[in-house]
Structures are given as structure tokens and as C-alpha cells.
């Protein structure tokens, strides 16, 4: 390998250059061959910025670069600085990756508690009696850092446990003693992978709704498949990188909402969730979906906005005969592509019929109606 300077290398007769992309306060170094096209550069930038290729506008020396042009023919050399401008809404994941914000909501919430908002660590006798009488343990927005011991004394009388909007980190194994729980709400806390006892949760054989939105989870365990009664799983706004293969054991699951995570793939076992009606995978890092989506015969709504998707499972429209809502905002998928799929006409008819019924039922609303599909339709 020969090198003319630190920004340019020659390898096997091809020139490789290092360029700096200026984007939202960041400087992103990218190594690429000089004969690559501008579109090739955009492909490299998509995972680095979350901005879809068609949402990227690259500007060099005041000129917008054409996708088909090579970097060399555009005058770009090693060390060149290129500005990236992103079109609003055309992104994958939870939005364009910008400079790190200072502080987090969980940190701020903890600080707020520390400044004088009293943390609840015990409950009154009357409250405990009410929990046991109604079966509903309601502790949302109670400034909790830990789950009060009194909760566990409810045992099998508890049907609902709502701990949302607190600062709880640990969900101990003791939760397994609430053997009749049907709904467990743990939204907007500070729960980490290592601080939640899945051994305890998988003992909840009657659990139908599990909501873990707005925490700090990066994984869901294989033991999730033991929750055979689960009908709704909500894990939005976490940092999930994958779903376990065992999710396919959840044959009663009707609603799966995992938008705003870091999912790059969906396991083929999703085809085993034969009761799914609604699936929301918006704002992740998905490039494709498994063909097994075609096995979801009861699927009515599929939300896929803000992913890097370029196509859909070929059997989706043919096999999912109840599908009527499909959100593809901010993806690479076009209507022209979808019209080539078998079953498109039937899906389009269901989609239009559903939206017409919604329009007919509106009385006073004057807001523009959004069909929940790509604007280019």
C-alpha cells in the first residue's frame, strides 16, 4: 500500500480517500474509494446518521451533489468537507443521530426527587386494604425508587400492578408471588436489563398485558416465550437490538409495539404469533422483514415508518387477508413496487373502504385526514 498523505491511500491501484461529513454539529469521518458514486457515500451514511438515502442532500462547495456522479468527478479529494442536510421525516430509527443531549429524563427525574419530592417507601393500611379489595395496585407517579414491600403482601389477590412514571430500577423476583396478575405496567422508569427479574415475571401465568415502555432495556430474554397468556407486549422507546426467537411461542399475542428501538431484524419465528392483529415496528433500523409475516392471517395493522426498508414480504398482501392499515412513511418503499405484489388490489380496496368509513364517521373534526400510508400514494 502506498500513501500520498494521511487522507488518501492507494491500494491495488484504487484510490481510497477520507472525507469529513458535517451533520448537525458532528464531523463524521468516512473512508471510501474515489471512484464511488455519491449514492454509495449516502449508503454508508445511512447507518451512521439514521437519515434515509432519499432524505440526504450532500453539498460540496455550495453545490448539491448528484447521486450518479463519482466523488472524484465532483472534485472531492482526501480531507474534503461535505455538508449533509436531512429532509424532515425521512429517517430510520428514532430520528437523525445528532450531538448527544446533556442529561436524560431519568436523570432529571432522579434529581427532581432529590430536590425535595418525597420518595414513597411505605403505604398506609387503608391503601393496602383497597388494593386487596379491588385487585388493583395503583402506584403510578408516586416518586418511587423501589417497589414497596407491602405490594408483595397482596399475593394472588392482585390483578393489576401499575408502577408507571416512577424512578424504579429493580424489579425483584418477589414479583412472582403476584400469581394472578393480568396486567403489569412498568412504563417510564429506569429499568435496566440486569435489574429486572425475568424469573419472577415468567411465573405470572395469567399475565395478558406487559408494558415496559420508556426504560433502558437492550434485550428481551428467551424466557419471554413462557408467558403463554400474553396478549399485549409494549416495549417502545427502549434500546432493544433484537427480539428473542422464543417470541414465536406467544400464540395468543394480539398486539406487539416495539417502535423507537434499535431493532435491525425480526426473527422468522414471528410467524408463530398467529393471533397478532396489530404490529408497530416504526422507528427502528430494519432493512427487511421475514417472509413469515405472511403467516399472520389475523393481522389488520402494520406500522413500519422510519425504517430503511426497501421492500416487503412478497406474500404479505396475498396471505394477510385482513390487513387494512399499512404505514410506510419515511421508508424507501414506493407504491409502484407494492402494485406488483400479488393481492395488492384486495388490500388497496380494504384500505380505501376502512378510511372512507373513518371519514364518514367524522362529525366536527376539521384536521386533514392522513391515511396512514406513504404520502407518495
Domain locations in the chain?
Answer: 2-86
Assessment of whether the complete model's pTM goes beyond 0.85:
no
Question: What pLDDT is stored for residue 105 in this prediction?
Answer: 40
Mean pLDDT of the chain: 87
Span 161-185, average pLDDT: 96
Dist. CA 57–CA 168, nearest whole Å = 43
Query: What pLDDT is stored for residue 362 in this prediction?
Result: 62
In tens, the pLDDT along 113-145 reads 343 343 344 577 888 899 999 999 999 999 999
Burial of 306 (0-12, 13-18, 19+ CB in 10 A): buried
CATH number of this structure's domain 2-86, picked from the four choices 3.40.50.1220, 3.40.47.10, 3.10.20.90, 3.40.50.2020 = 3.10.20.90
Instruction: Please state, in angstroms and rounded to a whole number, the distance separating the CA atoms of residues 371 and 10.
Output: 52
Q: CA 340, CA 326: separation in Å to the nearest integer?
A: 16
Contacts of 259 (CB under 8 A, 6+ apart): 236, 237, 280, 281, 282, 283, 284, 303
- Chain segment 340-377, per-residue pLDDT in tens: 999 999 999 999 998 887 777 665 444 443 434 443 33
Amino acid at each position: 500500500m502506498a500513501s500520498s498523505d494521511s487522507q488518501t491511500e492507494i491500494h491495488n491501484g484504487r484510490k481510497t480517500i477520507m472525507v469529513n461529513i458535517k451533520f448537525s454539529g458532528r464531523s463524521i469521518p468516512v473512508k471510501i474509494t474515489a471512484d464511488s458514486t455519491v449514492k454509495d457515500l449516502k449508503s454508508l451514511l445511512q447507518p451512521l446518521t439514521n437519515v434515509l438515502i432519499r432524505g440526504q442532500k450532500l453539498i460540496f462547495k455550495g453545490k448539491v451533489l448528484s447521486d450518479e456522479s463519482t466523488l472524484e468527478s465532483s472534485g472531492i479529494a482526501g480531507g474534503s468537507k461535505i455538508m449533509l442536510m436531512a429532509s424532515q421525516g425521512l429517517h430510520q430509527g428514532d430520528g437523525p443521530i445528532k450531538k448527544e443531549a446533556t442529561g436524560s429524563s431519568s436523570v432529571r427525574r432522579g434529581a427532581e426527587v432529590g430536590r425535595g419530592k418525597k420518595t414513597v417507601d411505605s403505604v398506609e393500611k387503608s391503601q393496602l386494604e383497597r388494593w386487596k379489595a379491588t385487585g388493583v395496585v395503583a402506584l403510578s407517579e408516586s416518586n418511587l425508587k423501589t417497589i414497596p414491600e407491602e405490594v408483595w403482601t397482596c399475593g394472588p389477590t392482585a390483578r393489576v400492578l401499575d408502577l408507571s412514571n416512577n424512578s424504579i430500577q429493580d424489579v425483584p423476583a418477589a414479583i412472582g408471588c403476584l400469581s394472578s396478575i393480568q396486567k403489569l405496567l412498568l412504563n417510564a422508569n429506569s429499568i435496566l436489563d440486569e435489574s429486572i427479574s425475568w424469573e419472577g415475571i415468567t411465573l405470572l401465568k395469567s399475565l395478558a398485558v406487559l408494558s415496559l415502555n420508556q426504560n433502558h432495556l437492550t434485550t428481551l430474554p428467551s424466557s419471554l416465550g413462557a408467558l403463554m397468556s400474553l396478549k399485549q407486549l409494549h416495549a417502545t422507546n427502549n434500546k432493544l437490538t433484537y427480539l428473542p426467537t422464543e417470541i414465536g411461542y406467544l400464540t395468543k399475542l394480539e398486539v406487539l409495539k416495539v417502535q423507537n428501538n434499535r431493532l435491525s431484524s425480526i426473527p422468522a419465528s414471528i410467524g408463530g404469533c398467529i393471533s397478532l392483529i396489530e404490529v408497530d415496528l416504526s422507528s427502528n433500523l430494519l432493512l427487511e422483514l421475514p417472509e413469515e409475516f405472511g403467516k399472520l392471517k389475523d393481522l389488520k395493522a402494520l406500522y413500519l415508518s422510519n425504517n430503511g426498508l426497501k421492500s416487503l414480504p412478497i406474500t404479505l398482501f396475498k396471505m394477510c387477508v385482513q390487513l387494512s392499515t399499512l404505514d410506510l412513511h419515511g421508508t424507501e418503499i414506493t407504491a409502484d413496487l407494492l402494485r406488483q405484489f400479488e393481492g395488492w388490489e384486495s388490500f388497496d380496496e380494504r384500505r380505501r373502504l376502512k378510511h372512507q368509513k373513518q371519514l364518514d364517521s367524522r362529525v366536527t373534526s376539521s384536521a386533514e385526514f392522513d391515511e396512514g400510508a406513504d404520502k407518495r400514494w
